Amino acid sequence: MDIFLTYLKVFAVGGLVCLIGQILINKTQMSSARILVLYMLVGVVLEVTGAFEYMKQFAGSGVTIPIMGFGSNLAKGALEGVKEKGFMGAISGGMSAVAAGLTTAITCGFIFGLISRSRSKKI
Amino acid sequence: MIDRIEYQDYVTKTQPKSPMVRTLFAAFIVGGLICCIGEAIGDIIKVIFKEMSDKDVATWESCVMIFLGSFFTALGLYDKLGHYAGGGSIIPITGFANSVVSPAMEYNREGVFFGICAKMFVIAGPIIVFGVVASFLVGFIGYFVV
């Protein structure tokens, strides 16, 4: 029962985050790049203000799987880097926190780009 | 002749309405489900690798989700989902993977250098640039505040 409640929270919060994005898309006709940038910056702000930690405890993947998690990782990495290595950490911290995700995305993009051709857009 | 206000009324009456309720519903369901899949992957990793720290589990979780997003994009399924779900498929990290892989596939006939490698960042580029600059600013300000 406990696990059911956890998944319900993840579903509700994750769905709500995407729903707000869809409202933005419907109302303002924003392109997907702008939506992603906006959400990532929201993640950075939430992490800096400390709100993201509470949201993560409440909803787990519901807030880390949306691109807000990417922004929060960047900000968190930068702040941790400052604590550990001083000014150099401010420069290197953010990227090293998201290095695994970026490497996966770029490698997958390269490999799948080589082996798979885009199908004609029949929807 | 009709004047401008009448014409505006006519346009708003006849233009295709974006089906607000249906798109919101689809975005909610699909976005929630993708987040649940992510949570499930995290739980499975926790069961298999018991001694792994929470931070590593989260990193693995997003890596697996990015891989899955790229994989289903390569199969052509993710774009179909995106047509139906809109924001529900864009905002999760799988949508970021889709935005990298989709242009790479689209432009691979233009060659490896200026096709795949350059066009890969058409949508992901702004995200990475904004993210890196924002993280530097956060670190820079944090250095002087702390």
Given a cut of 80, whether residue B24 has pLDDT beyond it is yes
Q: Does B142 contact A121 at a Cβ distance shorter than 8 Å?
A: no
Largest pairwise CA distance in chain A: 53
* Chain A residues 63-82 with a CB less than 8 Å from chain B: 64-67, 69-71, 74-75, 77-79, 81-82
User: In this structure, is residue B111 part of a structural domain?
Assistant: yes
Domain region containing B72: 20-145
- Residue-wise pLDDT tens digits, B43-86: 999 999 888 888 889 999 999 999 999 999 998 889 888 888 88
Task: Determine the Cα–Cα distance for residues B67 and B51; give it in Å rounded to an integer.
Answer: 23
Size of interface A-B (CB pairs under 8 A): 262
For chain B, how many structural domains are there in total? 1
The pLDDT value recorded for residue B17 is: 59
Given a cut of 60, whether residue B7 has pLDDT beyond it is yes
User: In this structure, is residue B15 part of a structural domain?
Assistant: no
The pLDDT value recorded for residue A59 is: 86
Greater pLDDT, A123 or B91: B91
User: In this structure, is residue B141 part of a structural domain?
Assistant: yes
User: In this structure, is residue B29 part of a structural domain?
Assistant: yes
- Kindly list the averaged pLDDT for each block of 10 residues, start to end, along chain A of length 123: 87 91 86 89 93 89 90 92 90 91 92 78 46
Which of A2, A6, A36 is the mutation pick for testing B, counting most B CBs within 10 A? A36
* Chain A residues 25-54 with a CB less than 8 Å from chain B: 25-26, 32-33, 35-37, 39-41, 44, 48
b/e B97-116 (16+ beta carbons within 10 angstroms → b):
bbbbbbbbbbbbeeeeeebb
Q: Does B135 contact A22 at a Cβ distance shorter than 8 Å?
A: no
B5 pLDDT tier (thresholds 50, 70, 90): confident
User: In this structure, is residue B2 part of a structural domain?
Assistant: no
What single-letter amino acid sits at A9? Answer: K
B35 pLDDT tier (thresholds 50, 70, 90): very high
As a whole number, mean pLDDT of residues B108-113 equals: 85
Q: Does B87 contact A81 at a Cβ distance shorter than 8 Å?
A: no
Are B94 and B85 contacting, i.e. CB atoms less than 8 angstroms apart?
A: no
The pLDDT value recorded for residue A122 is: 45
The pLDDT value recorded for residue B19 is: 73
User: In this structure, is residue B136 part of a structural domain?
Assistant: yes
Tokens of B78: 């993710």
ipTM (interface pTM)? 0.89
CB of A7 less than 8 A from some CB of B: yes
Which of B39, B75, B106 is the mutation pick for testing A, counting most A CBs within 10 A? B39
Q: Does B91 contact A39 at a Cβ distance shorter than 8 Å?
A: yes
As a whole number, mean pLDDT of residues B19-47 equals: 89
CB of A21 less than 8 A from some CB of B: yes
Given a cut of 90, whether residue B133 has pLDDT beyond it is yes
Are A19 and B87 contacting, i.e. CB atoms less than 8 angstroms apart?
A: yes
The pLDDT value recorded for residue A119 is: 62
